[in-house]
Amino acid sequence: MRFSKYLCAYLSALALTTACFAGPYDAPAGYYNSATGQGATLKSQLGTLMTFGPDGVLFGGDDHIQRTYGAFRFASVLFDTDPNNASNIILVYNEASVSGTWDSGSTWNREHVWPQSMQPGSASNSSTGNLGDHIALKPSNPGINSSRGNKPFGNLNSAGLFGAQTGGTYYPGDNDSGDIARALFYSDTRYDATLTNLSTGLIGDINTLIHWNYADVPDEFERRRNQVIYSQSDNPSYYQNNRNAYIDHPEYVWSIYGGGNNDSQLSVDGPANPDGSSTTTVDLGRVITGAAIPSTQAVGLIKSGADPTYYQVTATGDASSDINGRFNAFTSGSGLETLNIGLTGSTATAGLLSGTVTIDNIDISTGGAGQGSADADDTITVNLDVLDHSDASFASGLDQNLLTIDFGTFAPGGTVNSAFDLFNLESTLAFTADLDLDSIIGSGDTGTLGSNLAAFSGLAANGSNGFMASFDTSVLGTFSASYTLNLSDENIAGATNQVLTLQLLGEVAGTLTGDLDGDGFVGIDDLNIVLSNWNQAVPPANPLADPSGDGFVGIDDLNTVLGNWNAGTPPNSGNAVPEPGTLALLGLGAVAMIRRRK
């Protein structure tokens, strides 16, 4: 029913940048400037502040205005307001929401947190002092109020719901335990001269009350209540013009009631330095512009030392934390709290998103170097690289997505090569994604026009990879091939795809030397033409047998055929083709037989 104890975390989740502790329920700036001491001195300073206001002077205009026990009947609805129903109030202990209209105590009555039987005098509607102080009163269910009676608060290990406990003590419930403790500390400080000191144990076990102050920190409901009781603008008819310092500064409790020295030390993700400081970094990695910011990462906040402490969490820059403000606490002994650290802001533009989360141990006393008030701040730095898209290109400094390599026209022969490069242009200085080549798809004459292109990953901005295109000129014809390059940003959130095209062209023209029969291949048929016309004069009308062109079929023509042996594409690739040396011997043997026959 009450405001959540974790409202700060809720506001952080809504990406509000204002820290929770800088809200509407804080004391005015400078209000506690006079509270400079520790222990008994601090208690005396707070007592003066609660009585005479920040100027410390009676009738100075900021004195505590004492309200009556009777006025609480009509004022409670203003500061014990149900946040979900402004006509209702929230009762202490059972946290029931009931009508705030006073009906002579039938629905609710007035609970003295410090039992009236243990205060001077008896309560009447005209009573002032602690009997009528609205900070020390709570609206309560009549039956529950009667059940509590004047039992002292206690039972350190109790948890859960309110009620009487073994040993004659009373537990106010988890969500009211800290509120009750701070109300008692207020009464003991403000009315120190007239109330029985808390150390007697008649009101509550002091160690239990201290524990409750840290186990149940001031929440939104309690802090609003404190503000409205103080504020003339919020509560013009019944405002008291004073505040409960232990709600505004619950860290004061240990110095006054806990024994003074504080040996607590905080650190993040590991041991602290001698001065108590520690640092860690949360790296959220890399994303492409427009992608969602990665999820938060958990960072352990470690508390060492026997004494409890309050700590303040402040996020600056683009950093975010699910725990914020100054109303966070560790109870006695070692402890561990998990902070979920992340980033807010926009990934619309490339650059660095970063911020810092600072944890400050705000106890006001120290037990030694790096402890309590001497515990230096702990910092968490959080970073995210927001990258622009990679930009694949065939040219340096120019966005070229199509590359055409025209090898031109070649006579039949071997393989021709042409080098080319693939670049990743830098879109944004220092914040451009790496480039991946995921696949290559070829079409057309890929057997003749090819490349050594191969998939790769991680080509950095301003980087390049070199490749080679090739053209096999052994076959006559006009050839073209196209290669589609499928590329993408590196494999991170927000990555997109790109396509580049490599176009290869080439032609093989002219007569294939040694191809006497014109079948596009130099082989046994061409050798037979030479041998069948061996040692003959070749008439101009039939020059096939005379590739040397000297008008005579002889050794030069044989060498022309054998010198280009196997060039071109065999008409029947399944036939075995003799080696040129073997053919030369066969040819010479055939020549000898021809001569002998003649």
Give the whole-number percent of the chain exceeding pLDDT 70.
91
pLDDT of 591 higher than 70: no
Residue 13 is assigned to a structural domain of this protein: no
Name the residue with higher pLDDT: 574 or 371.
371
Residue 515 banded pLDDT, cuts 50, 70, 90 = confident
Mean pLDDT is lowest, of 52-56, 131-135, 519-523, for 519-523
Does one domain contain both 430 and 469? Answer: yes
pLDDT in tens, 451-496: 999 999 999 999 999 999 999 998 889 999 999 999 999 999 999 9
Q: What is the 3-state secondary structure (H, E, C) of 293-321?
A: CCCCEEEEEEEECCCCEEEEEEEEECEEE
Single-letter amino acid, residue 529: I
Q: Are the beta carbons of 487 and 392 closer than 8 angstroms?
A: yes
Domain-ending residue, one of 222, 257, 292: 257
pLDDT of 516 higher than 90: no
Does one domain contain both 500 and 532? Answer: no
pLDDT in tens, 186-212: 999 999 988 877 878 889 999 999 999
Does one domain contain both 104 and 224? Answer: yes
- The whole-chain average pLDDT of the chain stands at 91
pTM across the whole model: 0.80
Residue 15 banded pLDDT, cuts 50, 70, 90 = very low
Residue 563: what pLDDT?
Answer: 87
Single out the residue of 405, 417, 459 nearest to residue 435, CA to CA.
Answer: 459
In DSSP terms, 340 is beta-bridged to: 298
pLDDT of 585 higher than 70: no
Distance CA 122, CA 126 (A): 10
Pairing of strands 391-393, 415-425: antiparallel
Residue 22 banded pLDDT, cuts 50, 70, 90 = low
Residue 8: what pLDDT?
Answer: 40
Domain-ending residue, one of 330, 360, 387: 387
Residue 422: what pLDDT?
Answer: 98
Domain-ending residue, one of 387, 416, 437: 387
Does one domain contain both 54 and 170? Answer: yes
Residue 250 is assigned to a structural domain of this protein: yes
Angle formed by the axes of helices 524-532 and 555-563, to 10°? 180
Query: Where does residue 197 rank: exposed (0-12), middle (13-18), buried (19+ CB within 10 A)?
Result: exposed
Residue 2 is assigned to a structural domain of this protein: no
Cα-based angle 159, 164, 165 (whole degrees, multiple of 5): 60
Q: Are the beta carbons of 342 and 333 closer than 8 angstroms?
A: no
Residue 6: what pLDDT?
Answer: 38
Residue 22 is assigned to a structural domain of this protein: no
Mean pLDDT is lowest, of 1-10, 235-244, 292-301, for 1-10
What is the average pLDDT across 512-519?
81
Count of the separate structural domains present in the chain: 4
Does one domain contain both 88 and 219? Answer: yes
Residue 98: what pLDDT?
Answer: 98
Does one domain contain both 135 and 236? Answer: yes
pLDDT of 592 higher than 50: no
> Tokens representing 171?
């537990």
What is the average pLDDT across 557-563?
89
Q: Which CATH number do you get for residue 461?
A: 2.60.40.10
Does one domain contain both 246 and 149? Answer: yes
Residue 14 is assigned to a structural domain of this protein: no
Distance CA 483, CA 420 (A): 14
What is the average pLDDT across 263-274?
95
Mean pLDDT is lowest, of 14-18, 406-410, 430-434, 467-471, for 14-18
Does one domain contain both 239 and 270? Answer: no
Does one domain contain both 139 and 221? Answer: yes
Q: Are the beta carbons of 387 and 287 closer than 8 angstroms?
A: yes
Q: Are the beta carbons of 211 and 217 closer than 8 angstroms?
A: no
According to the per-residue pLDDT averaged within each range, which of 27-36, 58-67, 156-165, 533-542 is highest?
27-36
Instruction: Note the residue count of the chain.
Output: 598
> Tokens representing 27?
């004391």
Residue 557: what pLDDT?
Answer: 87
Q: Are the beta carbons of 353 and 343 closer than 8 angstroms?
A: yes
Residue 558 is assigned to a structural domain of this protein: yes
pLDDT in tens, 82-126: 999 999 999 999 999 999 999 999 999 999 999 999 999 999 999
Task: Count Cβ atoms below 10 Å from residue 314 Cβ, excluding itself.
Answer: 18
Residue 578: what pLDDT?
Answer: 55
Residue 134 is assigned to a structural domain of this protein: yes
What is the average pLDDT across 556-564?
89
Does one domain contain both 252 and 269? Answer: no
Does one domain contain both 146 and 243? Answer: yes
What is the average pLDDT across 64-69?
98
Q: Which structural domain range is residue 561 located in?
A: 524-597
Residue 580 banded pLDDT, cuts 50, 70, 90 = low
pLDDT in tens, 384-401: 999 999 999 999 999 999
Residue 579 banded pLDDT, cuts 50, 70, 90 = low
Residue 598 banded pLDDT, cuts 50, 70, 90 = very low
pLDDT of 374 higher than 60: yes
pLDDT of 523 higher than 50: yes
Give the sign of the dihedral formed by CA 195, CA 196, CA 199, CA 202.
negative
Residue 50: what pLDDT?
Answer: 97
In DSSP terms, 85 is beta-bridged to: 82
Name the residue with higher pLDDT: 107 or 588.
107
Residue 338 is assigned to a structural domain of this protein: yes
Distance CA 390, CA 423 (A): 10
Residues 324/329/333/336 CA torsion (nearest 10 deg): -20
Q: Are the beta carbons of 427 and 460 closer than 8 angstroms?
A: no
Residue 594: what pLDDT?
Answer: 43
Q: Which SS3 state, helix, strand or coil, does residue 290 take? A: coil
Query: Where does residue 106 rank: exposed (0-12), middle (13-18), buried (19+ CB within 10 A)?
Result: exposed
Q: Are the beta carbons of 58 and 105 closer than 8 angstroms?
A: no
Residues 490/493/497/498 CA torsion (nearest 10 deg): -60
Residue 511 banded pLDDT, cuts 50, 70, 90 = confident
Phi, psi of 538 (to 5 degrees): -100, 120
Does one domain contain both 364 and 420? Answer: no
